Structure 1
Amino acid sequence: MQSTSNYLWLLSDILGQGATASVFKARRKQTGDHYAVKVFNHISYLRPYEVQMREFEMLRKLNHKNIVKLFGVEELGSTKQKVLVMEYCAGGSLLNVLEKSENAFGLSELEFLIVMECVVAGMNQLRENGVVHRDIKPGNIMRVVGEEGQSVYKLTDFGAARVLEDDEQFMSLYGTEEYLHPDMYERAVLHKPQTKKYGVTVDLWSIGVTFYQAASGRLPFIPFGGPRKNKEMMHKITTEKPKGMIAGVQHRENGPVEWSEELPVTCRLSEGLKLLLVPILANILEADQSRCWGFDQFFAEANDILHRTVIHIFSLQQAVIHKVYIHSYNTINVFMDAISQQTNIPAPGHELIYEGHSLELDLVQQVNVVPKTTEERPIILVSKDPMTPIGITYKEPDIPMFPPKFDLINDANLAKVVTSAVHQLLRITNSLMKCQDFILRGVYWMLAILKEECRKTTQQVTALNVKLNFCKDTWMIIQKINSLLPQMNLTEVGDVHVKLQSTEDFLMSISQNVQKSQKQLDLITAEWSKSNDIHHKDNIIGKVQVLLDKVSAIYHQLKKDRMRMKLQYNEEQIHKFEKIKMGIHAKKVLVLVRDDCVQKYHKLLTSVKDWMRTACDIRKLLGPIGEQVKNLNQNLENCEASLNKTLDHCSSKLHDEEQIVTKLTASTAHLDQKCFEMVIGMKQLKQEMEDISQELQKNNMIIQSGFQEA
């Protein structure tokens, strides 16, 4: 047990150790609360006094939520060793987080953005105080859990820090070699004579390496054999890196370097975030300090990402999940362009569906009118043209085989690789199953929208047929009048009959197209139902999770075995059996993913390609009908107006003729049979016209109501 006047700790409760100090978990004597104490060893006192005091003074003036807080400086018992009393970060370091098997391929997107936000905020505080850290790395970024359960990251270890303005330079060397700027690496690691001076941008290189590692789970620059074993090649890779490249890996001894300007496909970040992050990495992982961004530009670009809102999009025909990072004040037009950039679907071809309904957006409105989306509730993007599915891009992780030789250290290391691979396979399974769920959901909504369009079109056609039939009846009445009174001039409605016949043919064609579309939609619906039943009965995620739990339990056991370093005979046999079991479980996961999940996924991709091709054809067939129905309705209204006008004229004429015939027949002694029949016919026509007029008025109201509903 060690102690100062206010704090005590056990030497076994070590949190970290460096060249000049060790950090322990301590308790305050008065309250029992946890703190971190940094105890300096005798080597630290060999440094100049101002260097020894630098960290104390630095922490005293830094007060920020993303910088580990200094509570005081005390002395250790009679030795008078300096002890820094600091905030205790129970979550360990970012390095501890990255070393977890589930993060072997990088952090989740949400966690990465938290890291980015915290590091940027902490570094901004340092720059405002003119401080260069000089040892930024995952091990010096501590994690605590906030009040709402979210991670909060804090910069720590200011032993190498010093005050330096943007235009100042320094020559002293500090830092961890994998994260060192190449100029500093050449002198500090390779021990080559050099007169170069270093500016504040050396921290940006370290941030770039840290961000790349947080995003991918590995260092960006790796020579064959590793950075610590092949130092000359490490320096060569970082200094000869082509402009724009953010990673370089040498896969074989003396072999070429494989350069990359993108994050690896195994990275868990979305393409939308990569699109914004990669340019930042490319411009801070720049060996030439004159070409490297300054902190102002870095802060501006990083904060630009952090202040964007995320809109989740699922491209139905492509079967790809997207995240669009955009400012809430941008217009819908900018949003549509961003979708086009990620999907390669031209903006005029976009059709958006949200929660089963078509999403109509005004291009001049701001993005904040877009409904709230989540990873589970994206907007469905449908292209108006058929497309070939792309699907989820993934790389199946390698699962190493355990050698029969008993080796506690190697077995534990391999067990971690296997566990990490199974975690990745579970993520792949989740992605594929989520993609299938979105496909089925999107197709269901698309079918519902098309069926509703068919229903409305049928309703409109029915209404038009009612109007057409009354126009035809009116035409027949006028024809009877014309036959009764041939002296009437009815040439102005002579072409109405032709228009009515043409309209009737057109309506018949529309009805046939709608019926054909409905039959096709019914066929797709039946196929969709079968696929939906299969999908929802599939419990592959649960099966993989059970196997992952078994693999993880064995991994933890093998880690414990490694800590003991020596096992009894029976324990050794159990250890060997556990290795075999882990291999069996991992193979089962691989078979489940390959032979079950992936095959069903590709089968559904084939189906959605056929379904959406048919849906696009139906949409193209139904698309013009709306305008056609509108034109037909206008034509019928014109015909109706013309017929009504003629009918009114005929009614007046018929009334006059009726009076004339009545007077003539009254002045004669007996009624001529022909005149009598004419009078009777006129009265009947008059009654029919009145009935037709009343029915037209009544049905026009019904028709208008039908169009409004449609």
Structure 2
Amino acid sequence: MNNSSANCRAGTSMSGITGSTTNYLWSVHDVLGQGATASVYKARNKRSGELVAVKVFNVLSYSRPHDVQMREFEMLRKLNHSNIVRLFAVEELQTKQKVLVMEYCSGGSLLNLLEDPENAFGLPEAEFLTVLQCIVQGMNHLREYGVVHRDIKPGNIMRQVGEDGKSVYKLTDFGAARELEDDEKFVSIYGTEEYLHPDMYERAVLRKPHQKSYGVSVDLWSIGVTLYHSATGSLPFTPYEGPRKNKLTMYKITTEKPMGAIAGTQQVEGGPIQWSYHLPYSCQLSQGLKVLLVPVLAGIMEADQGRCWGFDQFFTATTDILQRQPVHLFSLQQAVAHSIYIHHYNTVSVFFEEVAAQTGIGIQQQQLMYLGHDLVLEGAMKVVNLPCTSASQPLILLSSAPETNTSLPFREPETPPIPSRFDVVTDYNFSKVTVGIVHQYKRIVQQLHTYRELLLQGYYSYISLLAAGFPLRTEDSFLLIHQHLPIYSAGIREFQTQLEHLQIQQAKLAETLTHDKGCQKMQMLLEKITAIHQQYRKDRLTGKLAYNDEQIHKFEKIHLSSHIKRVKSLFREECLLRYKDLLASTRTWSSVLLEMQNRLRDFNSFSAGLLADLETSEQQQNKAVDRILNSPQFGRAEQQPEITPRDKDQMVSRCF
């Protein structure tokens, strides 16, 4: 059914392809979304031109009981929150059918964002946290009014983009919503099957009758699937060939999911279910956030309504996450970035414990640098007093114990085989997947570039700090040490020579980094592949291609295959190779610098003892001089002229 016929049957006052009410006007081509009972369009106020969204109900919606029809109107009238789409007015068509006039969200839906190939592996961490915060705040408002939504999914979460480019997400579509307290149940079925609680899925999708009733936990299940989808770009429960084609296996996965598991996938037809208790490595969330998020997902995606978390527990856990601040940290010798999520009121001692938990580096072995300087922190300090960090300007963590950097900070994406036969739909789907994968390659290349910068900057600072720590100053005490400890003096000169060599080597590698064009090359390949994907999208919409268009389509597939090979070659033979070369160098640097640091620590300890001995010896000499000056042969001290320290030294030399 096309848009025009749907709206004609809905009774819209049409003039060609437009619809209108007393105050608003829209085109059926400006469709924002469609459901079983209504369509949503981008509309304009006839006087001011202000953009709004109008929800136009079709004939099917009026087959519902009147109280059900009115429920959405009344529900939206009472709700008023920044994370819920606002209702401006309820107007009528000429046929007296209702039209909801609502807030227009310029960023489309969360589903639109997730379907962008750039987000094929999930949203960036900052954007995901924004989604989490908005869902939590919007749901908290619903629970304050005792409302259960019953159809939470990315398509029903709208995105408003502010002038600063930041997103605000808003819950919408309250057609299935109803008032329900925490201890109340309902039996009617609503929702979208991929996000539907298993008990509701059994009855609504599999058509199996049962006597079960449902509570507010059905919203929590849908929130869990939505959050997992936002974090990873994929649904958590996926049978072979997808949930819509294999419904029995879909139900089996969701109902047989072990406690603590947050995903289950079937890789081959009729094969076993592979359970996952962690978020995938490919998603863009840091390990620090994953550790906090996984228990929440496991708690709310629980098929047994008796074991599922309640909203109070959900709000407590998510609020705890959202109130933490990330401290960005780069473990230099391990070559791994971390985000330490911690409360601003915690002490630095707690921060050190979190660092130890994530990195495996003990508290006693931790040494921090920031902007090239030693960062000395007292355990009783508050975390709020830590310097402001970012992914590109983190705290640098040094370990006084040997550490290794054998693992790489990524896993290379897997690319599916290119379809051999001509098919516009298959080729479009393949090109869409490919664009998402190349976006992932690009992110990894950018990450490697950032890691190389951090490694070079970090080791430059490390070398500089060690060089400053060697005792080659001009104070008399250190000159005396050099005179009496030629072995240490020679060792210090040798270490200084090594440091100078490392600085030269580091400077050369830093120079190569400034001329590295890996990120730019990957971007160019991404643009070429995206252009082919856009052409394939047009071909899919066209359907049957003319002969010449079909030949062009096939030639583009050859180009696509060539571009994919170039992506892999660029990544493996240039970007990855440079990174591995730098890692090999840093392993040598780390070994040499750690030895120097230990020797310097030993030397400082020894020299401190020697200086203490010299000070003691000087005190003893002064006492001896005083005894001599007060002896009878010199007369009483108070009768003698004032004696300078130089005179004392001359006297001591005559006495000895």
**Same fold judged by TM-score > 0.5?**
yes
Cα distance in structure 2, aligned partners of 1:120 and 1:169: 22
- Report which of the two structures shows the higher radius of gyration computed on alpha carbons: 1
Q: Is the 8 A contact 1:392 1:431 kept in 2?
A: no
Q: 1:175 to 1:630 in 2, by over 3 A?
A: same
Cα distance in structure 1, aligned partners of 2:61 and 2:213: 25
Please tell me whether residue 459 in structure 1 is matched to residue 473 in structure 2: yes
Please tell me whether residue 131 in structure 1 is matched to residue 131 in structure 2: no
Q: Shift of residue 279 of structure 1?
A: 0.6
Q: Shift of residue 179 of structure 1?
A: 0.4
Q: Is the 8 A contact 1:401 1:583 kept in 2?
A: no
Cα distance in structure 1, aligned partners of 2:645 and 2:618: 16
Correspondence for 1:113: 129
Q: Is the 8 A contact 1:651 1:689 kept in 2?
A: no
Question: Which region of structure 1 is more displaced relative to structure 2, 545-554 or 394-403?
Answer: 394-403
Please tell me whether residue 597 in structure 1 is matched to residue 575 in structure 2: yes
Correspondence for 2:309: 293
Summarize deviations over 1:604-660 as a string: whole Å, max 9, x none.
Answer: 112111111111111111113333322222211221122233234445669649xxx
Cα distance in structure 2, aligned partners of 1:648 and 1:301: 74
Letter in structure 1 aligned against 2:159: R
Q: Shift of residue 578 of structure 1?
A: 2.0
The one of 222, 243, 260 aligned to 1:206 = 222
Query: SS state of the match for residue 210, structure 1?
Result: helix
The one of 24, 35, 39 aligned to 2:52 = 35
Correspondence for 2:201: 185
Letter in structure 2 aligned against 1:75: E
Summarize deviations over 1:500-545 as a string: whole Å, max 9, x none.
Answer: xxx965x334323322321222232232223222222211111111
Q: Which has the higher contact order (CA 8 A, sep 6+)?
A: 1
Q: Shift of residue 403 of structure 1?
A: 3.0
Cα distance in structure 2, aligned partners of 1:33 and 1:190: 45
Cα distance in structure 1, aligned partners of 2:166 and 2:644: 83
The one of 667, 681, 690 aligned to 2:647 = 690
Q: Shift of residue 284 of structure 1?
A: 0.4
Query: SS state of the match for residue 525, structure 1?
Result: helix
Please tell me whether residue 361 in structure 1 is matched to residue 339 in structure 2: no
Correspondence for 1:63: 80
Q: Shift of residue 556 of structure 1?
A: 1.4
Q: Shift of residue 408 of structure 1?
A: 1.6
Correspondence for 1:541: 519
Cα distance in structure 2, aligned partners of 1:465 and 1:303: 57
Residues 525-540 of structure 1: matches in 2 within 5 Å? 525-540=503-518
The percent identity for this pair of structures is: 52
Summarize deviations over 1:438-487 as a string: whole Å, max 9, x none.
Answer: 11111000000000001xx2227x5225568xxxxxxxxxxxxxxxxxxx
Q: Shift of residue 2 of structure 1?
A: 1.1
Cα distance in structure 2, aligned partners of 1:372 and 1:573: 56
Please tell me whether residue 309 in structure 1 is matched to residue 325 in structure 2: yes
Please tell me whether residue 46 in structure 1 is matched to residue 59 in structure 2: no
Correspondence for 1:346: 362
Q: Shift of residue 374 of structure 1?
A: 0.7
Q: Is the 8 A contact 2:625 2:651 kept in 1?
A: no
The one of 29, 32, 44 aligned to 1:15 = 32
Please tell me whether residue 332 in structure 1 is matched to residue 353 in structure 2: no
Query: SS state of the match for residue 607, structure 1?
Result: helix
Query: SS state of the match for residue 623, structure 1?
Result: helix
Cα distance in structure 2, aligned partners of 1:323 and 1:443: 20
Aligned length: 629
Cα distance in structure 1, aligned partners of 2:447 and 2:536: 30
Summarize deviations over 1:557-587 as a string: whole Å, max 9, x none.
Answer: 2212222223333332222222222221221
Query: SS state of the match for residue 259, structure 1?
Result: strand
Q: 1:419 to 1:689 in 2, by over 3 A?
A: closer
Q: 1:644 to 1:556 in 2, by over 3 A?
A: same
Correspondence for 1:671: none
Q: Is the 8 A contact 2:264 2:275 kept in 1?
A: yes
Q: 1:307 to 1:694 in 2, by over 3 A?
A: farther
Q: Shift of residue 163 of structure 1?
A: 0.2
TM-score by length of 1: 0.86
Q: Shift of residue 689 of structure 1?
A: 6.1
Q: Is the 8 A contact 2:224 2:297 kept in 1?
A: yes
Cα distance in structure 2, aligned partners of 1:405 and 1:374: 47
Cα distance in structure 2, aligned partners of 1:122 and 1:463: 70
Correspondence for 2:531: 553
Structure ranking higher in helix proportion = 1
Summarize deviations over 1:217-263 as a string: whole Å, max 9, x none.
Answer: 00000111210111111111111001100000011111110000001
Correspondence for 2:252: 236
Cα distance in structure 1, aligned partners of 2:169 and 2:104: 12
The one of 229, 235, 248 aligned to 2:264 = 248
Query: SS state of the match for residue 421, structure 1?
Result: helix
Query: SS state of the match for residue 310, structure 1?
Result: strand
Letter in structure 1 aligned against 2:76: L
Q: Is the 8 A contact 2:472 2:478 kept in 1?
A: no
Q: 1:688 to 1:32 in 2, by over 3 A?
A: closer
Correspondence for 2:614: 636
Q: Is the 8 A contact 1:419 1:551 kept in 2?
A: yes
Cα distance in structure 1, aligned partners of 2:361 and 2:633: 67
Cα distance in structure 2, aligned partners of 1:515 and 1:48: 91
Letter in structure 1 aligned against 2:536: L
Unaligned regions of 5+ residues in structure 2, if any? 1-17, 636-642
